[in-house]
Structure formats: C-alpha cells, structure tokens
Amino acid sequence: MTKRYSEDHEYVRVEGAVGTVGISPYAQEQLGDIVFVELPEIGAVFQKGDEAAVVESVKAASEIYTPVSGKIVEVNADLSGDPGRVNANPEGEGWLFKIELSDPSELDGLMDEAAYTAHIS
C-alpha cells in the first residue's frame, strides 16, 4: 500500500490499481463540522487536479481535487446520510471515492507522509 498527499490536502491510498481518496486530518480540522458531501458519479473520468467532489462544513464549502487521473469505481455512499464520518475518521470510514489510476507515475509528484507533515507545519 502506498499513501500520498497533495498540496491541497487530499490523500490517495493506493492498493493495486485503485486509489482511495479523501481529505487529510489537517484539512478536516480546518473545515470544522462537515454537514454535506457531494461525491462524483461512478464511471466519471478525471484528470489529476480536476474538481471531483465538494465537502461543505459549517464554515465553508471546499472543492476536492483528485490527486491522480483515472475513473471513479466507487463512492462512499455512507457519507450522504452521515457526512460527519469525514470528521471522525477522514483517512478511514470518511474516505470519499475510489479511483482506478490511469497513470500510476503521477504518484511520484505527490508527497509522502513525512513531506506532508513538513508541508503543514
């Protein structure tokens, strides 16, 4: 398993050819209580950096950009009834969508955990 972070505070956790995407714990702390999540359509194709989802909190709405290119293969349907899962466990039950990577080499342009920790401190 490989986990990488974007400068926009999204993570992608890759197992095989599929990446699970969500927001980092730092991002959810900045947003505050999340009240609504808009997820992409299954089958939609995105390029790295495209807006793929929206997370709304009591403070603001925040666009979520996909850190890698590919096709959406699954979305976290549990979030429609319980968007607070993103606050409770953003890198676990609060994941947003799964994407089949079309170009795994894009992971090289993202930060590992140590680099991301340095980026936010």
What's the whole-model pTM score? Answer: 0.96
12-25: pLDDT as tens digits: 999 999 999 999 99
Class of the CATH domain delimited by 2-107:
mainly beta
39-94: pLDDT as tens digits: 999 999 999 999 999 999 999 999 999 999 999 999 999 999 999 999 999 999 99
| Residue-level pLDDT at 93 | 97
Residue 34: φ, ψ to 5° = -85, 130
| Residue-level pLDDT at 118 | 97
What is the DSSP secondary structure assignment for residue 8, as one 8-state letter? Answer: T
Domain residue ranges of the chain, discontinuous segments joined by +: 2-107
Handedness of CA 9, 15, 20, 24 (dihedral sign): negative
| Residue-level pLDDT at 41 | 98
> Can you tell me the distance from the alpha carbon of 62 to that of 65, in angstroms, rounded to the nearest whole number?
10
Q: Is the separation of the CB atoms in 74 and 42 below 8 Å?
A: yes
Kindly tell me if the per-residue pLDDT of 1 is higher than 90: no
Kindly tell me if the per-residue pLDDT of 119 is higher than 90: yes
